[in-house]
Amino acid sequence: MDLLVTPFSSNAFMLQALIAGILVSIACAIAGTFVILRGLAFIGDALAHGVLPGIALAVLFGFPGIVGAAVGAGFMIGGITLITQRSRLSSDTAIGLLFIGMLSLGVAIVSRSNSFSGDLTRILFGEILGISVQSILIQFAATVVIGAIAFVCARPFLLLSFDPEQAEVAGFSVRLYHSVMLFMIAITVIVSFQTVGTLLVFGLLIAPAGAGALMARRVGAMMAWAVFFGALSMYLGLLISYYFDLAAGAAIILVAVTLFFIVFVMQNARYRRAASQKEVTHG
């Protein structure tokens, strides 16, 4: 039992990492649920990677990385909206163009400076073991905002995810609430990158929510399962990184993806068992 508790009870850095990680898990579970239901995995990935040039420029000119992430995310969403509304191109095409363009710009900025070696690792993989109390407070505030948006917009978000036409009939603007949903996802990415990095935040958006979708049919239950799997991934990932001297962010995502596939295999086995019993009963 001490092996499971001591790393956090005797190490302030580990405890702060766990607290920050659980807050990230809650935020990513809420946003990730709608990413899965709405089919926005591509834009989630694009946002997670497309903020790189904004962060790189912020670091280069001495501004907080979170400011650069916000600018990068705003440029991504604005560009996607502009291209989609002013041309015949689909949103997927707009997302793809801006995704690869912003990522390439970020790599170009980083390649022009020799001072990015340590900063680049932090940007890509986060610094969960070096998270500050101030960053935890920012993450907490962002998580509250994300939860409030999801609560206030629950009905239009659900209609938008399952039947956009019904959302219009019910009096909700599909364009407005789609933008609000993108804004919620962007906040999640902007704030969470400080903890797990731009490359790994996408994993926390998708894997726990995907496992939750396999476990539950109701959105509330799906979100609760996503929070559970995300928090469990944080806890186990930090333990593994502590005892085996692995990169914490990568260990967390590997646990999250492993948990998804465990749930996937178990659910498939259960469905097969139920189907075979049904055949025997009707046979």
21-25, 110-114, 169-173, 234-238: least confident range: 110-114
Position 134 in a domain: no
Per-residue tokens: 234:
């944080």
Position 140 in a domain: no
The rounded distance, in Å, linking the Cα atoms of 182 and 31 is 9
List of residues 6+ apart from 70 with CB closer than 8 A: 54, 190
* Count of domains observed in the chain: 1
Position 40 in a domain: yes
Q: Is residue 172 over pLDDT 60?
A: yes
Range(s) of the domain holding residue 262: 2-129+191-282
Top-confidence residue, 66 or 209: 209
Question: 49-82, pLDDT tens digit by residue?
Answer: 888 888 888 888 888 888 888 999 998 888 888 8
Q: What is the pLDDT of residue 281?
A: 65
For residue 143, report the phi and psi dihedrals to the nearest 5 degrees. Answer: -65, -40
Evaluate whether 183 touches 26 at the Cβ level (below 8 Å): no
Q: Is residue 95 over pLDDT 80?
A: yes
Evaluate whether 38 touches 161 at the Cβ level (below 8 Å): yes
Say what angle helices 219-244 and 248-282 make with each other, to 10 degrees.
Answer: 130
Position 12 in a domain: yes
What's the chain's average pLDDT?
87
Q: Is residue 115 over pLDDT 90?
A: no
List of residues 6+ apart from 179 with CB closer than 8 A: 77, 81
Alpha helices for 39-196 (secondary structure H) = 41-50, 52-60, 65-86, 91-111, 117-125, 133-152, 154-162, 164-169, 174-196
Q: Is residue 39 over pLDDT 90?
A: no
Evaluate whether 19 touches 136 at the Cβ level (below 8 Å): yes
Per-residue tokens: 41:
């995995």
Question: 251-282, pLDDT tens digit by residue?
Answer: 998 999 999 999 999 999 988 887 777 766 66
Per-residue tokens: 247:
């990169």
Q: How far is CA 89 from CA 47, 71, 81, 92, 104, in A?
A: 19, 24, 11, 8, 21
68-77, 131-140, 189-198, 235-244: least confident range: 189-198
Amino acid of residue 70: A
Position 164 in a domain: no
Position 262 in a domain: yes
Q: Can you give the pTM of this predicted structure?
A: 0.88
